[in-house]
């Protein structure tokens, strides 16, 4: 028995895979501050569930957050209640579901691949997927994606067993529908769509080549399965619709989902082949096997005779026609005259003219092949038959349908964010594991080997470069010149402490990546994969333990906290000060969600922040957090602060100010110049932090 056989069997196979992702992400869970903006918005809505006891409506302060279903918020609220409580402001408690979800996603990838490509290939593929930078990064961000990839992959694993075994297993059908219901409560239709691309894609592929797709899926129609899905999903949707007076569906579908298809939602656009160009970094270290994975899949799926090549050419022509049709539709529909009124035709054309149609390409492609595959003239012209349709071919079709259709869908979306592509990564990881076993068994792929080696080297160089202190210093110097309220030299002097951080993990990651390249070039593929995984984990630890936590100049809310602490202005920190802390903070020129999450729901930000000092003495002490670099404020921030100081003089209030604190707000690219200003009645108490 080989080393790979030993580690891919028994309980240790599952433990090792879990530890890869769980351990790689652990430092980020505890070391990184709350991120802006999505993470803090998710966590704040979950926090307000605990504070209010309302587990139906989703709120961000006083606003309804009608974007995603409540599933992830229930998990985050539950983990926070378990570890701390509603009053806790530590972000790590909200990250636990994503952390566990990503680790279980690695296990689900292994479980999914076993009936498709075997235990050895599945273990390697899951290990490579579990160490990818994108997965381990999403594992320490309190959003939906860690749990989404776990439940989606679990459902596809059940589907794969039905597909490969064709045993009409009711247990697998129930598992599929349960996972579908749960993932729908996490991120709506994304999970079901990815599972549909895998299952329907493989079925249509078979139908188009042999004339029938098989009836392996019929057990999914067994009534308890869909009933479980409805029982999981429907009650909350009825409750939320009633609680929001019908506003949830309007916000989630009519606004949030629609915005993602009609344009670059919230400015999240990108260049062509956005996700493809991110692969060297986000899919690292699995890039070591990416090119061989493509070649191995092609060798398994390519036509075996002249008739097969003709079928392939026809299929490519049909795919091109479908794509051209959607492209023409995209540009032509807005130019067509639309019927006036509120009739069905007017509404349909109006909706189509605003929606971007290209993301529908994978679904329309499947529909086109399903239609033509059932026509007698297609069957007569291309009677390929079932010769050569082995279980291995069927399995690779399933995985390729899952990976390719999902990848194309997210690549064609107008809204582009790196984590959107994550549900395709388990399939890509399994293909990498499939290729790795072939290489280890002696199959030669010389060209793809060197292409992959290059991709892996590019990814390693990029990750090592951006995590080196010199890069941080370069961006500091570039950013310092953007400040308008202070000289660049003063900003750089205040950032001196952030110019260096420990590099011993960096050097270990550098060495491991180098050894992986050397061993892969020497055809020691198993050792190269283990070294590549170790390199990814080590570089990730360096970034999450030393680099990112040390760069406080890139953490505006933590910089704001430093300013507030100078005047004892953090609510609830009375014990750490020599005087009473305020009940809330009033922010001017700063409104990031991490400020609300970590400082308290009661704190205000523009435009809710009052610009007049209260006359009631019970409102004091009063603390303003001012960003003097805010260039959008009307009137200007400096004028607003001058008015507050003038009011304080008239009211004979004590005014205590912190030193200026500078940072870059990475969420919008703007510099911030914070100063905390505290107003007290009855003289000036000592407000220095207690020693």
> What is the model's pLDDT at position 433?
98
> What is the model's pLDDT at position 195?
98
Over residues 661-680, the mean pLDDT reads: 95
Q: How far apart are CA 508 and CA 516, in angstroms?
A: 12
Q: How far apart are CA 683 and CA 688, in angstroms?
A: 15
- Look at residue 381 and tell me whether its pLDDT is greater than 80: no
> What is the model's pLDDT at position 691?
39
CA atoms within 13 A on the CB side of 239: 13
> What is the model's pLDDT at position 87?
72
Buried b / exposed e over 505-536, threshold 16 CB at 10 Å, is: bbebbbebbebbbebbeeebbbebbbbbbbbb
- The H-or-E segment that residue 656 falls in is strand 654-657
Query: What are phi and psi for residue 625, nearest 5 degrees?
Result: -105, 115
Least confident of 372-376, 414-418, 620-624, 671-675: 372-376
> What is the model's pLDDT at position 685?
67
Over residues 320-344, the mean pLDDT reads: 71
- Look at residue 38 and tell me whether its pLDDT is greater than 50: yes
In angstroms, the Cα distances linking 691 to 66, 149, 687 are 45, 47, 12
pTM of this structure:
0.94
**Beta bridge pairs of residue 624:** 586, 677
> What is the model's pLDDT at position 347?
52
Indicate the pairing of strand 622-627 with strand 585-588: parallel
At 356, is the pLDDT very low, low, confident or very high (cuts 50, 70, 90)? low
Q: Using one digit for the tens of pLDDT, what is the confidence trace for 204-239?
A: 998 888 778 889 999 999 999 999 999 999 999 999
Average pLDDT, the chain: 91
- Look at residue 686 and tell me whether its pLDDT is greater than 90: no
> What is the model's pLDDT at position 252?
82
- Look at residue 341 and tell me whether its pLDDT is greater than 60: no
Residue pair 140/97 in contact by the 8 Å Cβ criterion: no
> What is the model's pLDDT at position 41?
95
> What is the model's pLDDT at position 265?
64
At 386, is the pLDDT very low, low, confident or very high (cuts 50, 70, 90)? very low
Share of the chain above pLDDT 90, in %: 75
Least confident of 73-77, 83-87, 184-188, 384-388: 384-388
Q: How far apart are CA 614 and CA 606, in angstroms?
A: 17
At 256, is the pLDDT very low, low, confident or very high (cuts 50, 70, 90)? confident
Pick the more confident residue, 545 or 353: 545
Pick the more confident residue, 527 or 247: 527
Q: Using one digit for the tens of pLDDT, what is the confidence trace for 597-641?
A: 999 999 998 889 999 999 999 999 999 999 999 988 767 899 999
Q: Using one digit for the tens of pLDDT, what is the confidence trace for 42-82?
A: 999 999 999 999 999 999 998 988 888 999 999 999 999 99
Least confident of 133-137, 382-386, 404-408, 642-646: 382-386
At 199, is the pLDDT very low, low, confident or very high (cuts 50, 70, 90)? very high
> What is the model's pLDDT at position 357?
77
Give residues with Cβ within 8 angstroms of 462, minimum separation 6: 280, 281
DSSP codes, 269-319: ---TTHHHHHHHHHTTTGGGGHHHHHHHHHHHHS-SSHHHHHHHHHHHHHH
> What is the model's pLDDT at position 271?
80
- Look at residue 267 and tell me whether its pLDDT is greater than 80: no
> What is the model's pLDDT at position 690?
41
Pick the more confident residue, 253 or 603: 603
User: Which of 290, 332, 601, 592 has the alpha carbon at shortest distance from 451?
Assistant: 290
- Look at residue 334 and tell me whether its pLDDT is greater than 90: no
Least confident of 37-51, 147-161, 261-275, 562-576: 261-275
Q: CB 310: neighbour CB atoms within 10 A? A: 14
Structure token digits, residue 271: 């260049």
């Amino acid at each position: 028995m080989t080393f790979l056989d030993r580690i891919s069997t028994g309980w240790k196979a599952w433990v090792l895979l879990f530890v890869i992702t769980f351990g790689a992400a652990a430092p980020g869970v505890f070391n990184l501050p709350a991120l802006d903006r999505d993470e803090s918005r998710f966590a704040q809505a979950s926090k307000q569930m605990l504070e209010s006891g309302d587990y139906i409506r989703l709120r961000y302060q006083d606003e309804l957050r009608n974007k995603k279903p409540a599933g992830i918020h229930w998990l985050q609220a539950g983990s926070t209640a378990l570890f701390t409580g509603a009053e806790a402001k530590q972000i790590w408690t909200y990250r636990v579901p994503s952390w566990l979800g990503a680790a279980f996603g690695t296990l689900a990838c292994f479980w999914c691949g076993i009936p498709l490509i075997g235990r050895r290939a599945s273990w390697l593929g899951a290990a490579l997927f579990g160490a990818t930078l994108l997965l381990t990064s999403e594992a320490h961000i309190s959003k939906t994606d860690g749990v989404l990839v776990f439940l989606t992959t679990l459902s596809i694993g059940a589907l794969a067993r039905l597909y490969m075994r064709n045993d009409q297993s009711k247990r697998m059908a129930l598992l599929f529908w349960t996972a579908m219901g749960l993932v729908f409560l996490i991120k709506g239709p994304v999970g079901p769509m990815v599972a549909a691309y895998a299952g329907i894609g493989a079925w249509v592929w078979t139908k188009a080549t042999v004339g029938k797709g098989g009836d392996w899926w019929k057990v999914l129609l067994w009534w308890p399965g869909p009933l479980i899905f409805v029982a999981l999903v429907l009650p909350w949707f009825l409750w939320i619709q009633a609680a929001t007076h019908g506003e949830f569906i309007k916000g989630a579908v009519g606004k949030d989902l629609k915005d993602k298809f009609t344009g670059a939602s919230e400015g999240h656009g990108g260049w062509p082949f956005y996700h493809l160009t991110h692969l060297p970094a986000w899919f690292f270290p699995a890039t070591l096997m990416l090119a061989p994975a493509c070649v191995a899949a092609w060798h398994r799926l390519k036509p075996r005779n002249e008739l097969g090549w003709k079928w392939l050419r026809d299929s490519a022509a049909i795919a091109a026609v479908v794509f051209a049709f959607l492209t023409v539709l995209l540009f032509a529909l807005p130019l067509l005259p639309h019927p006036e009124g509120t009739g069905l035709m007017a509404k349909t054309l109006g909706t189509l003219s605003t929606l971007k149609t290209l993301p529908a390409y994978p679904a329309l492609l499947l529909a086109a092949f399903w239609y033509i595959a059932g026509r007698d003239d297609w069957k007569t012209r291309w009677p390929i038959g079932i010769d050569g349709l082995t279980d291995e071919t069927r399995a690779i079709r399933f995985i390729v349908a899952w990976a390719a259709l999902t990848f194309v869908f997210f690549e064609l979306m107008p809204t582009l964010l790196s984590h959107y592509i994550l549900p395709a990564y388990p399939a890509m990881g399994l293909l990498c594991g499939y290729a790795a076993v072939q290489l280890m068994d002696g199959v030669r792929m010389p060209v793809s080997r060197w292409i992959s080696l290059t991709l892996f080297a590019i990814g390693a160089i990029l990750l090592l470069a951006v995590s080196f202190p010199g890069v941080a210093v370069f961006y500091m110097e570039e950013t310092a010149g953007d400040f308008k309220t202070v000289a660049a030299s003063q900003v750089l002097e205040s950032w001196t402490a952030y110019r260096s951080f420990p590099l011993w993990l960096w050097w270990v990651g550098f060495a491991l990546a180098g050894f992986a390249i050397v061993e892969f070039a020497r055809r020691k593929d198993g050792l190269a994969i283990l070294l590549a995984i170790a390199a990814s984990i080590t570089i990730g630890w360096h970034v999450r333990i030393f680099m990112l936590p040390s760069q406080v100049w890139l953490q505006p809310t933590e910089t704001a906290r430093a300013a507030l602490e100078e005047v004892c202005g953090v609510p609830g920190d009375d014990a750490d000060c020599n005087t009473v802390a305020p009940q809330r903070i009033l922010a001017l020129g700063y409104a990031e969600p991490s400020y609300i999450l970590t400082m308290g729901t009661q704190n205000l930000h523009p435009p809710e922040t009052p610009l007049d000092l209260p006359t009631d003495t019970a409102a004091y002490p009063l603390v303003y957090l001012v960003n003097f670099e805010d260039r959008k404020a009307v009137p200007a921030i400096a004028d607003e602060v001058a008015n507050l100081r003038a009011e304080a003089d008239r009211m004979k209030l004590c005014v205590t100010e912190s030193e200026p604190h500078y940072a870059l707000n990475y969420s919008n690219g703007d510099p911030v110049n914070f100063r905390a200003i505290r107003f007290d009645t009855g003289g000036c108490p000592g407000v220095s932090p207690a020693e």
